[in-house]
């Protein structure tokens, strides 16, 4: 039974360092309650009775270490979130050119599939490489099954064309149709430690760098810019920007940039 979910300053510092080293996410004092809530859940699942014992567990169990990182870095997302970037693409790009797109930090796949259905609806040729550091999120993304609350912003015409409605016990869920899924490949990628293997016309890295410190943001931007083709587009979250960072990008719309 879990009997302790409070962290000593030393434990908070140690767990925060672990998360930062692995994912780049900064868990400061303001996020103490979030850390405790995610930690308590993992302790209940593993039937660990104290924080000290749980720290020992993630030190000895690679599987639980990954579960802990997943629990502390996963964020809520939904279809057509901050869709102005996609609208810009549809207005600006030539649909006769094949597009290579990277959805970095793709979470459970809503971003990548949101891009895919809109490009399909506008007769674009493309493929999307979608990546995340979380094994559990990638598993969900590969399934392509989502609750109806995630699709509130999807236009009915696109919903009818590219989503399958569930029946019976799945009546409150939808699944991406195979014709959409074949355009998207999901793989594990750590923005801090892995090296991009290809170059892309468009890179989305949204709503993740807000959790990084300036040093980590600079390192991630350096890496992603190398993977972006000249003239390619780079999108960050609407609450993010690249102010104060060195890069060879020019702003073309809020939170949207083009490589010089």
Q: Is the pLDDT of residue 2 over 50?
A: no
Claim to verify: residue 59 and residue 88 sit in the same structural domain: no
Please write the tens of the pLDDT for every residue from 107-162: 999 999 999 999 999 999 999 999 998 888 899 999 999 999 899 999 999 999 99
Q: Is the pLDDT of residue 77 over 70?
A: yes
pLDDT value of residue 4: 52
230 DSSP 8-state letter: E
Claim to verify: residue 229 and residue 133 sit in the same structural domain: yes
Claim to verify: residue 69 and residue 101 sit in the same structural domain: no
Which residue in 103, 172, 181, 177 sits closest to 142, CA to CA?
181
Claim to verify: residue 147 and residue 108 sit in the same structural domain: yes
Q: How far apart are CA 63 and CA 189, in angstroms?
A: 17
Region 31-43: mean pLDDT is 88
Tokens of 149: 């609350």
Domain final residue, candidates 73, 102, 125: 73
Region 58-66: mean pLDDT is 90
pLDDT value of residue 56: 93
Phi, psi (5° rounding) for residue 147?
-75, 155
CATH number for 15: 1.10.155
pLDDT value of residue 181: 98
Claim to verify: residue 45 and residue 117 sit in the same structural domain: no
Domain final residue, candidates 39, 73, 107: 73
Tokens of 1: 């039974």
Please count the structural domains in the chain.
2
CATH number for 130: 3.40.50.150
Domain final residue, candidates 73, 98, 121: 73
Claim to verify: residue 237 and residue 120 sit in the same structural domain: yes
Range of the domain at 199: 84-259
Which residue in 108, 117, 97 sits closest to 183, CA to CA?
117
Q: Is the pLDDT of residue 1 over 70?
A: no
Claim to verify: residue 149 and residue 226 sit in the same structural domain: yes
Q: Is the pLDDT of residue 99 over 80?
A: yes
Q: Is residue 195 part of a domain?
A: yes
Q: What is the mean pLDDT of the chain?
A: 92
Q: Is residue 78 part of a domain?
A: no
Contact between 103 and 207 under an 8 Å Cβ cutoff? The reply is: no
CB neighbour burial string for 209-218, b if at least 16 within 10 angstroms, e if fewer: bebbeeebbb
Q: Is the pLDDT of residue 71 over 80?
A: yes
Q: Is residue 79 part of a domain?
A: no
Q: Is residue 42 part of a domain?
A: yes
Q: Is the pLDDT of residue 252 over 80?
A: yes
133 DSSP 8-state letter: S
Region 229-252: mean pLDDT is 95
State whether residue 37 is helix, strand or coil: helix
Which residue in 258, 110, 234, 95 sits closest to 184, CA to CA?
110
Return the minimum-mean-pLDDT range out of 3-12, 16-25, 135-144, 241-250. Answer: 3-12
Claim to verify: residue 68 and residue 112 sit in the same structural domain: no
Claim to verify: residue 69 and residue 143 sit in the same structural domain: no
pLDDT value of residue 128: 98
Contact between 52 and 14 under an 8 Å Cβ cutoff? The reply is: no
């Amino acid at each position: 039974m879990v009997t302790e979910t409070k962290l000593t300053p030393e434990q908070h510092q140690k767990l925060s360092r672990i998360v930062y080293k692995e994912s780049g996410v900064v868990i400061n004092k303001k996020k103490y309650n979030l850390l405790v809530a995610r930690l308590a859940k993992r302790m209940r699942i593993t039937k660990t009775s104290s924080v000290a014992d749980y720290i020992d567990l993630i030190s000895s169990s690679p599987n639980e270490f990954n579960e802990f990182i997943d629990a502390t870095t996963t964020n809520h997302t939904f279809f057509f979130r901050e869709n102005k970037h996609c609208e810009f693409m549809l207005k600006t790009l030539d649909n006769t050119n094949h597009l290579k797109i990277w959805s970095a930090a793709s979470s459970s796949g809503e971003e990548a599939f949101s891009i895919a259905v809109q490009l399909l609806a506008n007769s674009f040729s493309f493929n999307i490489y979608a990546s995340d550091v979380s094994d559990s999120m990638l598993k969900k993304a590969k399934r392509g099954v989502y609750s109806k609350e995630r699709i509130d912003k999807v236009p009915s015409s696109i919903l009818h064309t590219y989503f399958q409605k569930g029946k019976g016990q799945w009546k409150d869920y939808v699944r991406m149709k195979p014709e959409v899924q074949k355009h998207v490949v999901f793989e594990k990628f750590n923005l801090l430690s892995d090296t991009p293997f290809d170059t892309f016309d468009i890179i989305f890295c949204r709503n993740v760098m807000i959790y990084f410190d300036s040093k980590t943001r600079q390192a991630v931007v350096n890496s992603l810019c190398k993977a972006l083709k000249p003239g390619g587009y780079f999108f960050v979250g609407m609450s993010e920007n690249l102010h104060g960072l060195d890069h060879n990008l020019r702003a073309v719309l809020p939170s949207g940039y083009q490589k010089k």
